Structure 1
Amino acid sequence: MRFLEIRRTGRGPQPADFDHDFPALIARTLSDFTPDERGVLRSVALPDAFDIPVATQTAGMQHEAPAGA
């Protein structure tokens, strides 16, 4: 998304455009997620393996779409 933002300004991306710390990268990435997708991410952040039905149940959702995204 950052690349596309820069391209819309009409200039080419530079290395400094992507010189952000890891927490900033995560915050920017999560801002693109829907609230349901963020809930799924929080619910599966700790287990060793990812399982869509378990993620859906853990997040308290009735449908698997956000977990499968």
Structure 2
Amino acid sequence: DAVVCPVTPTPAFPHDHHPDPLERLIAVDGVEYPYFDQLVWAGLPTMPGLPATAVPAGRSPEGLPVGVQIIGP
């Protein structure tokens, strides 16, 4: 068995190079969110210590890369 889920909540995005990582933001539909909100899906296999890998899954309508992660037991 395996679980397939997104790697991040959004496609690829420009990186915010603010010196304080806690001050970095990402705009989604005109609303700014903390940069670390992007890590929510990566935490899914990390917290229980499950094996996982990320693979490309295509492109968004804007042509940005989109991936999925495959999480094992």
Q: TM-score range by the shorter chain?
A: under 0.3
- Which of these two proteins has the greater Rg computed from alpha carbons? 1
TM-score (structure 2 length as normaliser):
0.25
In terms of fraction of residues, the more strand-rich structure is: 2
More relative contact order in 1 or in 2 (CA 8 Å, sep 6+)? 2
